[in-house]
Amino acid sequence: MKINFHGKNIWFDKHRYDEAEKRFYEGANGPAAQQQQVAAPVQQVKVTNGDDADDDDIDLFGSDEEDEEAELIKQERLEAYAAKKAKKPTVIAKSSILLDVKPWDDETDMAKLEECVRTVQMDGLLWGASKLVPVGYGIKKLQINCVVEDDKVGTDILEEEITKFEDYVQSVDVAAFNKI
């Protein structure tokens, strides 16, 4: 029985509740751990003081000779790994970029605009296919594809170089960017 006395719970017959809880869990989980240990035999282990002469043969901390051998093996493995890695060609990260180059108006010479865009040459830049796409009101934009090496050419540099042709180019947008 539990009684609330000035904000504190007082348990009368708490031992009965504890015993009932113990029986409940024993029934749910099988016999108690004490009953299971009765069946297991206890084995005696003999402890010695270390008087045996065999203890001198064991080197717990290793010897310097083994450390030198391990260091030589480690060095040989590192050299073999470096040689193997040197033979392997490095993968160059490339991206395919689709640019939208927009002219000022419908009177802009689009053939000249494309010619100007293709004059932009950089190490790691390769121009691909292009087409004229209608925007509206007779204005067409140039969609041109290029492949770039990520370490050498960035989209911001590319946009900057193309927008230098102020007579033809109003703006440049990246329509698609895909890693290869």
CATH of the domain at 99: 3.30.70.60
Q: Is the pLDDT of residue 30 over 70?
A: no
Which residues make beta-bridge pairs with 74? Answer: none
Which residues make beta-bridge pairs with 94? Answer: 149
- DSSP letter (8 states) at residue 91: P
Predicted local confidence at residue 82, as pLDDT: 86
Domain contains 150: yes
Domain contains 162: yes
* Residues near 97 by beta carbon (within 8 Å), at least 6 away in sequence: 145, 146, 147, 148, 155, 158, 174, 176, 177, 178
- Alpha-helical regions (H) of 51-163: 64-87, 110-118, 155-163
| Residues 120 and 153: beta-carbon distance below 8 Å | no
Domain contains 159: yes
Provide, rounded to the nearest whole percent, the portion of the chain with pLDDT above 90. Answer: 47
Q: Is the pLDDT of residue 38 over 60?
A: no
Q: State which of 26-30, 57-61, 168-172 shows the largest mean pLDDT.
A: 168-172
- DSSP letter (8 states) at residue 89: P
Predicted local confidence at residue 131, as pLDDT: 96
The whole domain housing 138 covers 94-179
Q: Which two tokens stand for residue 45?
A: 């282990």
Domain contains 89: no
Q: Is the pLDDT of residue 22 over 90?
A: no
Domain contains 26: no
Domain contains 161: yes
Cα gap 100→94, rounded to integer Å: 20
Q: Is the pLDDT of residue 44 over 70?
A: no
Q: Give how many domains the chain has, as a whole number.
A: 1
Domain contains 163: yes
pLDDT in tens, 108-162: 999 999 999 999 999 999 999 999 999 988 899 999 999 999 999 999 999 999 9
Domain contains 18: no
With CA atoms as reference, report the closest residue to 120 among 168, 161, 179, 148.
161
Cα gap 113→101, rounded to integer Å: 9
Predicted local confidence at residue 84, as pLDDT: 84
Mean pLDDT value across residues 73-97? 87
Bigger pLDDT: 90 or 160? 160
